[in-house]
Structure 1
Amino acid sequence: MMLSGFKLSKTSLATIATLLLVLMWLIGNGNVNTAKVEFTPVIEQFSECPTQGGNLGATLIVFVNAEPLAKNLAQTLCQDPVVIKQFGQVRAVWNHSEDQVLQYVGKGIADLTLVKENLMAAIRGESTYGYRVVAAYPDYSAYLISMREKPQIDKAYLLGKRIGLLDYPTSRSGHIIPIGMFKELNLSLDSLQITYANSHTELRNLLISGKVDIISSYWQQDRDEAILSRNYITPIEQQVSGSKWYLKMETNNIDLFCAVQRTLIQMAKDENSGYFSRLTPEPDCQVSP
Structure 2
Amino acid sequence: MMLSGLKLSKISIATIAVLLIVLMWLIGNENIDSATAEFPPVIEQFSECSTHGDNLSATLVVFINAEYLAKNLSAALCQDPVVVKQYGQVKAVWNHSEDQVLQYVGKGIADLALVKENLMEAVKGESTYGYRVVAAYPDYSAYLISTREKPLLDKAYLLGKRIGLLDYPTSRSGHLIPIRLFKELGLSLDNLQISYANSHTELRNMLTSGKVDIISSYWQDSDENILSRNYITPIEQQVSGSKWYLKMETNNIDLFCAVQRTLIHIAKEQNSSYFSRLSPEPDCQVQPQ
Shorter chain as normaliser: what TM range? Answer: 0.7 to 0.9
The match for 2:131 is: 131
The match for 1:271 is: 270
Which amino acid is the alignment partner of residue 242 of structure 2?
S
The match for 1:25 is: 21
Query: Per the alignment, in what secondary structure is the counterpart of residue 82 of structure 1?
Result: helix
The match for 1:3 is: none
Query: Per the alignment, in what secondary structure is the counterpart of residue 176 of structure 1?
Result: helix
The match for 1:191 is: 191
**Which whole-Å CA distance do the structure 1 matches of 2:188 and 2:16 have between them?**
53
Per-residue CA shift, 1:251-286, capped at 9, x if unaligned? 111110010011111111222221111111111125
Cα deviation, residue 175, structure 1: 0.6
The match for 2:208 is: 208
Cα deviation, residue 106, structure 1: 1.7
Instruction: Output aligned runs, 1:228-239, within 5 Å.
Output: 228-239=227-238
Cα deviation, residue 42, structure 1: 3.4
Structure 1 regions of 5+ residues with no counterpart? 1-18
The match for 1:166 is: 166
**Which whole-Å CA distance do the structure 2 matches of 1:165 and 1:27 have between them?**
55
Q: Is the aligned partner of 1:258 residue 2:257?
A: yes
Query: Per the alignment, in what secondary structure is the counterpart of residue 163 of structure 2?
Result: strand
**Which whole-Å CA distance do the structure 2 matches of 1:150 and 1:271 have between them?**
29
**Which whole-Å CA distance do the structure 2 matches of 1:85 and 1:23 have between them?**
67
Cα deviation, residue 24, structure 1: 5.3
**Which whole-Å CA distance do the structure 1 matches of 2:207 and 2:105 have between them?**
33
In 2 relative to 1, CA 39–29 (structure 1 residues): closer, same or farther, beyond 3 Å?
closer
**Which whole-Å CA distance do the structure 1 matches of 2:155 and 2:185 have between them?**
6
Cα deviation, residue 99, structure 1: 1.9
In 2 relative to 1, CA 20–65 (structure 1 residues): closer, same or farther, beyond 3 Å?
farther
**Which whole-Å CA distance do the structure 2 matches of 1:282 and 1:29 have between them?**
66
Q: Which deviates the most, 122-131 or 134-143?
A: 122-131
The match for 2:101 is: 101
The match for 2:63 is: 63
Cα deviation, residue 25, structure 1: 3.4
The match for 1:14 is: none
Cα deviation, residue 90, structure 1: 0.4
TM-score, normalising length: structure 1: 0.86
**Which whole-Å CA distance do the structure 1 matches of 2:233 and 2:251 have between them?**
45
Cα deviation, residue 128, structure 1: 1.3
In 2 relative to 1, CA 153–51 (structure 1 residues): closer, same or farther, beyond 3 Å?
same
Matched-pair contact (CA < 8 Å) for 1:258–1:287? no
In 2 relative to 1, CA 161–287 (structure 1 residues): closer, same or farther, beyond 3 Å?
same
Structure 2 regions of 5+ residues with no counterpart? 1-14
Cα deviation, residue 38, structure 1: 6.3
The match for 2:157 is: 157
Per-residue CA shift, 1:88-116, capped at 9, x if unaligned? 01011111122222221121111101111
The match for 2:78 is: 78
Task: Quote the sequence identity (%).
Answer: 79
Per-residue CA shift, 1:44-98, capped at 9, x if unaligned? 1111110010000000000111011000000000000000000001011111122
Which amino acid is the alignment partner of residue 95 of structure 2?
N
Q: Is the aligned partner of 1:217 residue 2:217?
A: yes
The match for 1:241 is: 240
Cα deviation, residue 28, structure 1: 4.7
**Which whole-Å CA distance do the structure 2 matches of 1:94 and 1:20 have between them?**
57
TM-score, normalising length: structure 2: 0.86
Q: Aligned pair count?
A: 268
**Which whole-Å CA distance do the structure 2 matches of 1:40 and 1:196 have between them?**
29
The match for 1:283 is: 282
The match for 1:7 is: none
In 2 relative to 1, CA 23–251 (structure 1 residues): closer, same or farther, beyond 3 Å?
farther
Cα deviation, residue 43, structure 1: 2.3
**Which whole-Å CA distance do the structure 1 matches of 2:102 and 2:25 have between them?**
49
